[in-house]
Amino acid sequence: MDAEVGTKPNKPVRKQQLRSLRTQQKLLDAALEAFSENGFKGTSTRDIAERAGVHHPLITYHFKNKEELWRAAASRTFKQFNHAIYEAYEETKNDCPRTRFSAAIRAYVKSAAEQPELHKVILQEASHPSERLDWIVASFIRPLFDAAIPDIKKLQDLGIAPPGDPALLFNMIRVSAGGLLALGNEIKGTSDIDMTTRSNIDALADMIINVFLPNDAPENWASQSPTAVT
């Protein structure tokens, strides 16, 4: 009896914790969707609660205010996004520079297609200076930039990537992927291209690779660039 009594109180606690986690996830999903469509100022917490299908007071129960909810929603999405790119890079760490960077590009395009709200949030915040934009850049975009630039320089040294400012090349690659996918509704209306289909997502990745990495790695790439594999 004592053992049974000791285990029973834990069950409702776990159920409550699960309900709480599910509510948080609903709020984060709804918040990201709302912020990507209407921007921070154009989004109300009441709208987020309605999208999530929860009572409005639960927002302040789980998150102190709209700013905290925005950061939590953005952080979760950016962390997932960056992790996918780093993972693709790690899996190909022993491959030639072109193969490795191509894998990162494919991961970027795939993740951007799966989470189009991410680049929509960037577009919303990039329209004017703000602390939120500074936080996104410092926390998530700048680390990608810092990791990519040395490898872009190696690709240029090997004649794989076109010459020019590597920082500009990085952003051209990034915007070609995320920007096109964020503008999916407009592109479908303009060009009848559905950017949600797997075939078009794969085609976009192939085209970005062929445009920005037009040449294959030389057979002796390792001797030409001792630091080509990091």
Q: Tell me what pLDDT residue 12 has.
A: 56
Q: Please, where are the H alpha helices in 127-165?
A: 131-136, 142-157
Q: Tell me what pLDDT residue 218 has.
A: 84
Q: Which CATH class is domain 1-63?
A: mainly alpha
Residue 21 C-beta-side C-alpha neighbours within 13 Å: 6
Rounded Cα distance between 41 and 194, Å, is: 30
Q: Tell me what pLDDT residue 172 has.
A: 96
> Taking residues 29-47, what's their average pLDDT?
96
Work out the pLDDT band at 228, boundaries 50, 70, 90: very low
Q: Which residue has the tokens 């790690």?
A: 90
Q: Is 39 left (phi over 0), alpha (psi -120 to 50) or beta?
A: left
> Which carries the bigger pLDDT value, residue 140 or residue 12?
140
Rounded Cα distance between 153 and 169, Å, is: 10
Q: Encode burial over 84-97: b for 16+ CB neighbours within 10 A, e otherwise.
A: bbeebbeebeeebb
pLDDT, tens digit, for every residue of 156-206? 999 999 999 999 999 999 999 999 999 999 999 999 999 999 999 999 999
Give ranges for CATH 1.10.10.60 in the chain: 1-63
> Which carries the bigger pLDDT value, residue 12 or residue 156?
156
Architecture of domain 73-224: Orthogonal Bundle (1.10)
Work out the pLDDT band at 154, boundaries 50, 70, 90: very high
> Taking residues 102-129, what's their average pLDDT?
94
Q: Tell me what pLDDT residue 5 has.
A: 40
Q: Tell me what pLDDT residue 226 has.
A: 37
Work out the pLDDT band at 230, boundaries 50, 70, 90: very low
**In this structure, what DSSP letter does residue 138 have?**
I
**In this structure, what DSSP letter does residue 161 have?**
S
What are the Cα distances from residue 100, in Å, to 127, 178, 224?
A: 33, 19, 17
pLDDT, tens digit, for every residue of 66-80? 999 999 999 999 999
Q: Tell me what pLDDT residue 217 has.
A: 81
Rounded Cα distance between 121 and 151, Å, is: 27
Rounded Cα distance between 119 and 104, Å, is: 17
SS3 annotation, 166-196: HHHHHHHHHHHHHHHHHCHHHHHHHHCCCCC
Q: Please, where are the H alpha helices in the chain?
A: 2-7, 10-38, 45-52, 57-62, 66-91, 97-114, 116-126, 131-136, 142-157, 166-182, 184-191, 198-212, 221-224
Give ranges for CATH 1.10.357.10 in the chain: 73-224
Rounded Cα distance between 154 and 213, Å, is: 12
Work out the pLDDT band at 21, boundaries 50, 70, 90: confident
Work out the pLDDT band at 13, boundaries 50, 70, 90: low
> Taking residues 55-60, what's their average pLDDT?
91
Work out the pLDDT band at 223, boundaries 50, 70, 90: low
For 203, list phi and psi in degrees, rounded to 5.
-65, -40
